[in-house]
């Protein structure tokens, strides 16, 4: 779906405010109008010979980033989708030079909000890889952490449960029911308020609807 030009302009203004706050909080951050522009930038700024891991992400698929990484012979890629030992790959990702992921929500005041199943994605965000690229669309911008929680419960969590074929209550109601089922994917909750050391986490904000 093509974004309305007025919505695009409003989102850009919001994104620019967010970028300023991210930088004030120690993150590196860049804004791109399109996935194509973001992908080109990442290709130019990810050195050949690097080891690379990535978290599960529809955004990485939709932007073409996942296809670029897994099809590139210039990198050592720890590929979670093509392995018989996922646990081993998750641990390899923690020692990677670069880790790619998205986020469940991004607040305008420059905080990341993520909900994880096994915790491998948020673990890599917090500690391990030398560089972390967080790629996200402007559709995930919210005003604060409170809105981030609501966004996850009403949008991200139900959509991901449907995508993964999990028989959890939200796949019936369309909204989080705070379930305590063995198949729940909402197990680890993380707010990243600041980036330490400064610049380790680099937010790539794209003015498109991406992921859930």
- 174 assigned to some structural domain: no
pLDDT band at 191 (very low <50, low <70, confident <90, very high): very high
Domain of residue 102, residue span: 5-144+187-206
Q: pTM for this one?
A: 0.96
> Tens digit of pLDDT for each residue in 99-140?
999 999 999 999 999 999 999 999 999 999 999 999 999 999
Residue 170 maps to a domain: no
pLDDT in tens, 140-187: 999 999 999 999 999 999 999 999 999 999 999 999 999 999 999 999
Evaluate whether residue 27 is within a structural domain: yes
Tell me, yes or no, whether 91 lies in a domain.
yes
- Domain-embedded: residue 163: no
What is the sign of the dihedral through the CA atoms of 67, 103, 180 and 174? negative
- Strand 105-107 to 141-142 pairing: parallel
In a domain, 150, yes or no: no
Nearest to 106 by CA among 66, 146, 148: 148
Q: Residue 51 domain-assigned?
A: yes
- Within-domain flag for 112: yes
3-state class of 21 per DSSP?
Answer: helix
Domain count, the chain: 1
What CATH number did the domain enclosing 80 receive?
Answer: 3.40.50.10420
Structure tokens at 11: 């989102």
Q: Rounded CA gap, 172 and 195, in Å?
A: 37
């Amino acid at each position: 779906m093509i974004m309305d030009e007025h919505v695009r302009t409003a989102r850009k203004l919001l994104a620019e405010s967010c970028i300023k706050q991210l930088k004030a909080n120690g993150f590196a951050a860049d804004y791109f109008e399109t996935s194509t522009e973001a992908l080109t930038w990442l290709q130019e700024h990810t050195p050949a010979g690097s080891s690379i891991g990535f978290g599960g992400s529809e955004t990485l698929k939709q932007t073409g980033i996942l296809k670029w990484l897994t099809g590139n012979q210039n990198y050592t890629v720890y590929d979670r989708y093509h392995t018989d030992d996922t646990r081993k790959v998750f641990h390899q990702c923690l020692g990677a030079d670069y880790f790619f992921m998205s986020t469940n929500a991004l607040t305008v005041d420059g905080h990341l909000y993520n909900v994880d199943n096994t915790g491998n994605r948020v673990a890599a965000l917090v500690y391990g890889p030398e560089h972390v690229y967080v790629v996200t669309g402007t559709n995930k911008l919210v005003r604060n952490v409170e809105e981030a929680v609501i966004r996850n419960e009403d949008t991200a969590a139900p959509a991901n449960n449907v995508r993964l074929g999990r028989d959890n209550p939200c796949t019936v109601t369309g909204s989080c029911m705070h379930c305590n089922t063995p198949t729940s994917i909402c197990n680890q909750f993380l707010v990243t308020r600041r980036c330490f050391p400064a610049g380790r986490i680099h937010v790539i904000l794209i003015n498109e609807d991406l992921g859930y």
